[in-house]
């Protein structure tokens, strides 16, 4: 077992899947000679050559459109968005072509669209967004957002091997800040399965991506106050692991949902509805949400810190819920 960064775990997954399956190809802006804006694809071009590591024009629509076409011809493309914010440029290709292709005429689209997302690095409103919920609303897609190096590698491998189009969000704040020992050999993590990161009895926190680490830190502080938090990391947002969420809420009887995405239309609302429909009688308090503000992501570091959920926000909400 070797300790690697979140970024290196993703790079390993790409190398290993390209070694394993000659149908896997990568395409995107500056992924070849430059090695990617964050150096995730560094070394791929030297190992696999121009035919499998393709530098593209600055056109997200063209990148995804080409990836869909490649998949029809038997390839398994991994398309990089230099920043996931610009996935909006290819919304039509993803939601009306990739997502509906199998439903319309039985043609699978085994593509992965991956790239950096999220805030905390003072990237401003066009380089710090969490646009996952635009696509969680789209049947036919799978949406993945890991929190650890182990999961990032295992989930990306599963995404590449999946016959459905998968959107793979990589929180850029985690790239070089989070390290973990991961197995040297091949392994996968199943899509659509959440994991309980911390066992607890007093309340459940459901979260994903970088907020997993924020919530774990909050949980440790709450434990010193006698509040025992159970933490569920969703890992995959679509399909959503409903059973793990409900099982935890039935155990603790209280639910706090935390995410970095803005509040209105965020997945917290969907999870709250799920629990109210299926476990209302188990609840001993209101379902609370801790999220980003309903504004664009500020560029100013102090404003961004105010915009993003933090440990103190989680602790305050958890204390309120624990007292209820």
pLDDT band at residue 2, thresholds of 50, 70 and 90?
A: confident
Asked if 132 and 200 sit in the same domain, the reply is no
Question: What is the reported pLDDT for 16?
Answer: 97
Q: Which two tokens stand for residue 106?
A: 């039985």
Any idea what the CATH number is for the domain that residue 298 is in? 3.40.50.920
* Whole-number percent of the chain with pLDDT over 70: 100
Over range 251-257, report the average pLDDT.
98
Q: Is 137 known to be catalytic?
A: no
Cα–Cα dist 171/27, whole Å: 20
Angle at 154 (CA atoms; ends 151, 159), nearest 5 degrees: 110
Domain residue limits at 108: 2-182
> Strand, coil or helix: what is 260?
strand
- Rounded distance, CA 229 to CA 117, Å? 27
Query: Of 122, 127, 213, 259, which is the active-site residue?
Result: 127
Length of the chain: 324
The count of domains in the chain is 2
Choosing from 124, 159, 182, the residue where a domain stops is: 182
pLDDT of residue 310: 98
* Contact partners, residue 287, CB within 8 Å, separation at least 6: 255, 256, 257, 271, 272, 275, 276
- Shared domain for 34 and 111, answered yes or no, is yes
Confidence of residue 184 (pLDDT cuts 50, 70, 90): confident
Which tens digits make up the pLDDT trace of 23-41?
A: 999 999 999 999 999 999 9
Q: Based on the fold, state whether residues 223 and 310 are members of the same structural domain.
A: yes
187 occurs within a structural domain: no
pLDDT in tens, 58-81: 999 999 999 999 999 999 999 999
| Helix, strand, coil fractions of the chain, as percent rounded to 5 | 40, 20, 40
Q: What pLDDT, on the 0 to 100 scale, is given for residue 142?
A: 98
**In a shared domain, residues 7 and 154:** yes
**Are residue 83 and residue 228 in the same domain, yes or no?**
no
CA 310 to chain centroid, in Å, comes to 18
Residue 96 has what DSSP assignment?
A: I
Same domain, 150 and 252: no
Q: What is the CATH number of the domain that holds 35?
A: 3.40.50.970
Specify whether 251 is located in the same domain as 300: yes
Alpha helices in 179-241 (DSSP H): 211-224
Report the alpha-carbon distance of residue 111 to residue 102 in Å, rounded: 13
> For 79-133, how does the pLDDT look when each residue is reduced to its tens digit (9 = 90+)?
999 999 999 999 999 999 999 999 999 999 999 999 999 999 999 999 999 999 9
Asked if the model's pLDDT at residue 1 lies above 80, the reply is no
- Whether the predicted pLDDT of 233 surpasses 90: yes
* Class of residue 94 by CB neighbours under 10 A (exposed 0-12, middle 13-18, buried 19+): buried
**pTM (two decimals):** 0.97
Tell me how far apart the alpha carbons of residues 10 and 170 are, in angstroms, rounded to a whole number: 9
Residue among 121, 102, 124, 122 nearest 111 (CA) = 102
Torsion angle defined by CA atoms of residues 191, 193, 199 and 204, in that order, rounded to the nearest 10 degrees: 110
Across the chain, where does the E strand assignment appear? 2-5, 24-28, 53-55, 76-80, 112-117, 142-144, 166-171, 179-182, 195-198, 203-207, 229-233, 236-238, 255-262, 288-292
Same domain, 221 and 144: no
Residue 145 and residue 204 in one domain: no
pLDDT at 273 over 80: yes
CA-wise closest residue to 266 among 294, 300, 234, 236: 294
Choose the final residue of a domain: 182, 210, 227: 182
């Amino acid at each position: 077992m070797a300790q690697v960064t979140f970024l290196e775990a993703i790079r390993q997954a790409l190398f290993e899947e390209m070694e394993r399956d000659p149908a896997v190809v990568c395409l995107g802006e500056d992924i070849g000679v430059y090695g990617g804006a964050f150096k995730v694809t560094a070394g791929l071009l030297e190992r696999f050559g121009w035919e499998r590591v393709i530098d593209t024009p600055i056109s997200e629509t063209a990148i995804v459109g080409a990836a869909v076409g490649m998949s029809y011809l038997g390839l398994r493309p991994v398309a990089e968005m230099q920043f996931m914010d610009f996935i909006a440029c290819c919304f039509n290709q993803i939601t009306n072509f990739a997502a509906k292709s199998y439903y319309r005429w039985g043609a699978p689209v085994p593509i992965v669209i991956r790239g950096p997302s999220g805030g905390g690095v003072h990237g401003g409103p066009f380089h710090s967004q969490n646009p996952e919920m635009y696509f969680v609303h789209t049947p036919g897609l799978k949406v993945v957002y890991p929190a650890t190096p182990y999961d990032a590698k295992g989930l990306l491998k599963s995404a590449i091997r999946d016959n459905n189009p998968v959107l793979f969000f990589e929180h850029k704040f985690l790239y070089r800040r989070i390290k973990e020992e991961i197995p040297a050999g091949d392994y996968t993590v199943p899509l659509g399965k959440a994991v309980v990161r911390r066992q607890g009895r007093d309340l459940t926190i459901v979260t994903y991506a970088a907020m997993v680490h924020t919530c774990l830190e909050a949980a440790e502080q709450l434990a010193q106050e006698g509040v025992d938090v159970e933490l569920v990391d969703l890992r995959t947002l679509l399909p959503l692991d409903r059973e793990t969420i409900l099982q935890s809420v039935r155990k603790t009887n209280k639910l706090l949902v935390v995410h970095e995405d803005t509040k209105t239309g965020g997945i917290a609302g969907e999870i709250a509805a799920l629990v109210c429909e299926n476990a209302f009688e188990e609840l001993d308090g209101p379902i609370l949400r801790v999220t980003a503000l309903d504004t664009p992501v500020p560029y100013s570091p102090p404003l961004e810190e105010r915009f993003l959920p933090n440990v103190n926000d989680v602790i305050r909400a958890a204390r309120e819920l624990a007292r209820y």
